[in-house]
């Protein structure tokens, strides 16, 4: 069973930055891709960013160049650097990894953007 553990969430003011981390219990090369989703209160979970096994990254339109997904292969970790945070970015952020026919999820980390 794969475990994903997120960290790095918190309370920040608009315009500030946060870096989320996700530690995987298996080699990240064992996954076809890994990524970050988020879920705000009363809303559906949505994709934020994803990085493939080969290192190709893709982002949701609302990211608008503010976020960067990256990975540290030896440490089996991925990161989400979030700059220029807005109140509408407030949500629980989840790390996810995928293999054929199965997705794994972390427990989530809360990000709150408020003045």
Distance CA 17, CA 10 (A): 10
Query: Which pLDDT value is given to residue 105?
Result: 97
> What are the two backbone dihedrals, phi and then psi, of residue 9, each rounded to the nearest 5 degrees?
-70, 175
pLDDT digits (tens, 9 = 90+) for 22-33: 999 999 888 999
Query: Which pLDDT value is given to residue 15?
Result: 98
How many percent of the chain have pLDDT more than 90? Answer: 92
Burial degree of 39 (CB within 10 A; 0-12, 13-18, 19+) = middle
Cβ-based neighbour number of residue 90 at 10 Å = 17
Under the banding of pLDDT at 50, 70 and 90, the label for residue 41 is: very high
- Give the pair of three-digit tokens for residue 57: 């990254």
Show Cβ contacts of residue 43 under 8 Å, excluding neighbours closer than 6 positions: 91
For 49-63, what is the mean pLDDT? 95
Distance CA 21, CA 78 (A): 6
- Give the pair of three-digit tokens for residue 93: 């952020």
């Amino acid at each position: 069973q794969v475990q994903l553990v997120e960290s790095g969430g918190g309370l920040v003011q608009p315009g500030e930055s946060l870096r989320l981390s996700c530690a995987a219990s298996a080699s990240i090369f064992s996954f076809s891709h890994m990524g970050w989703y988020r879920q705000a209160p009363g809303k559906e979970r949505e994709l934020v960013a994803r990085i493939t096994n080969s290192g190709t990254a893709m982002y949701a339109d609302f990211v608008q160049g503010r976020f960067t997904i990256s990975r540290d292969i030896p440490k089996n970790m991925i990161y989400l650097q979030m700059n220029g945070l807005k109140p509408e970015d407030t949500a629980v952020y989840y790390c996810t990894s995928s293999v054929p026919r199965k997705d794994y999820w972390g427990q989530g980390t809360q990000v709150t953007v408020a003045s």
